[in-house]
Chain A
Amino acid sequence: QVHLQESGPGLVKPSETLSLTCTVSGGSISSFHWSWIRQPPGKGLEWVGYISYSGSTNYNPSLRGRVTISLDTPKNQFSLKLSSVTAADTAVYYCARTPIGRNWFDPWGQGTLVTVSS
């Protein structure tokens, strides 16, 4: 059974770049889309973007220009970089899987809280 685990710094300074990694275990990173989804404290979910196993990407228009998602197939990992962060980027960041040609997220990682503060 596939398992996803997020990792990365829990505190980032304003204007710097947030970097997170999702490690996929129990299955191959091939033949799926791999997404990042975030949730500000006490608020709803927001789709950040995804990367396909082929390397193609698709980002939320509201974040385009600041977000980059990349893939490391040999390590079965994918990563998120979000630049020029502000307090509004403080959130729990989840990684999740989507079958190619489908539009649901399953499974999800447990999530990791990233706080933007000086």
Chain B
Amino acid sequence: QSALTQPASVSGSPGQSITISCTGTSSDIGGYHYVSWYQQHPGKAPKLMIYDVSYRPSGVSNRFSGSKSGNTASLTISGLQAEDEAGYYCSSYTSINSRVFGGGTKLTVL
């Protein structure tokens, strides 16, 4: 199974909005409503930010939102803050009952 495709890096200024894309196939993202997103600060474990495409766990800021269109999922962060600078990974369920991650995107807050 191939990793989902994410841009290697994105950047934005404080207060702006950014979107990170995650592209798969009809056998993973396109076929199911099971995309999740994780935030990872350097040296730390990943943290769940979005599940089932667009749902936020309790305690996650409403500045984070998720969506999906066809084989591509997206994570949008609005009102960028310095603390949002981190790595972001998408994940999806697959047609062979497996799980696959994206390659990760490094977000820089300018």
Interface residues of A (CB under 8 A from B): 35, 37, 43-47, 58, 60-62, 94, 102-111
Residues of A within 8 A of B99 (CB): 35, 47, 60, 103
B1, B48, B98: the one contacting A105 at CB < 8 Å is B48
Question: Do A106 and B48 touch (CB < 8 A)?
Answer: yes
Q: A47-B100, A103-B52 known; 5 other A-B pairs, CB under 8 Å?
A: A43-B104, A44-B3, A47-B99, A103-B36, A104-B48
Instruction: Report the minimal beta-carbon distance from A8 to chain B, rounded to whole angstroms.
Output: 16
Distance between Cα atoms of A107 and B44 in the complex (Å): 13
Chain B: how many interface residues by the 8 Å CB criterion? 27
Closest to B57 in A: A106
Question: Do B1 and A108 touch (CB < 8 A)?
Answer: no
Residues of B within 8 A of A106 (CB): 47-48, 51, 57
Residues of A within 8 A of B92 (CB): 103
Residues of B within 8 A of A43 (CB): 104
Closest to A109 in B: B45
- Which residues 89-107 of B sit at the A interface, judged by CB distance below 8 A? 89, 91-93, 96-104
Residues of B within 8 A of A108 (CB): 45-47
